[in-house]
Structure 1
């Protein structure tokens, strides 16, 4: 089972041949700029396509605090995305309250744990839309 730094390295080395499919779902690589360090930070995340965009969930396993990658893209919404061999710049935004229910359902359909993560916290877990620039 890959995840974390090894997952990122194998995904990048193989254009997603290793790492795109993960535990019955699919992952992309999201690269944000550290809001304090200014350094690039790459995170593998479960995703689903949404038209020309991609959806990811800032769940952090139901933790009461947002994941660091989400805090980074709030500070700087210009991000890099890799889906298999497709690498591009995107603008990240949080789904609106109107968009979120359908997008959440789409994500929970491929990773049902998202629903249980939301029950663990009072934090409203964001769905993030990654729109190609």
Structure 2
């Protein structure tokens, strides 16, 4: 039996996920987007959200900015508890493992300048997450 995946209920994120699927993984031309599926740390349910990313070799760098909010996004808290995740990049879906990595802030801000503003909008430290595939994409 396969677990049901629950999409992020925030309307603009749910719309982003829908556009990702409709466009074969290219909802915003010129922006690198992916779908991240985590396991809920309390519910155990599969939770999916859409995120922009930057590459670091074979890994994907995700920014837990939550648009500069004063709390971490749920997906980040989920992967702290359970770092085994699933990524969908373009038409490929594959398992991966997440870990934190602050060293890539310059590359992230270079690719997505809005993250610099998010950093100044909150007093919390915005984490960067390095997500490394555990096998080749299918």
TM-score normalised to structure 2 length: 0.82
Aligned position for 2:14? 5
Q: Does 1:108 align with 2:109?
A: yes
Give the superposition deviation at 1:3. Answer: 4.0
What's the C-alpha RMSD, in Å, of the aligned pairs? 1.7
Q: Does 1:49 align with 2:55?
A: yes
Aligned position for 2:129? 128
Aligned equivalents of 1:13, 1:76: Cα separation in 2: 29
Aligned equivalents of 1:16, 1:121: Cα separation in 2: 30
Instruction: Determine which of 83, 86, 91 is the counterpart of 1:80.
Output: 86
Aligned equivalents of 1:121, 1:15: Cα separation in 2: 34
Structure 2, unpaired ranges of 5+? 1-10
Give the superposition deviation at 1:9. Answer: 2.7
Aligned equivalents of 1:120, 1:5: Cα separation in 2: 24
Aligned equivalents of 1:74, 1:108: Cα separation in 2: 23
Instruction: Determine which of 78, 87, 90 is the counterpart of 2:96.
Output: 90
Give the superposition deviation at 1:55. Answer: 0.5
Structure 1, unpaired ranges of 5+? none
Offset from partner CA, 1:88-108 (integer Å, 9 cap, x none): 00001111xxxx24x111111
**Secondary structure of the structure 1 residue equivalent to 2:123:** coil
Q: Say if 1:3 and 1:44, in contact at 8 Å, map to a contact too.
A: no
Offset from partner CA, 1:64-116 (integer Å, 9 cap, x none): 11100000000100000011011100001111xxxx24x11111112111111
Q: Does 1:61 align with 2:62?
A: no
Aligned equivalents of 2:81, 2:34: Cα separation in 1: 21
**Secondary structure of the structure 1 residue equivalent to 2:60:** strand
Q: Which segments of structure 1 move beyond 3 Å, counting only runs of 4 or more? A: none
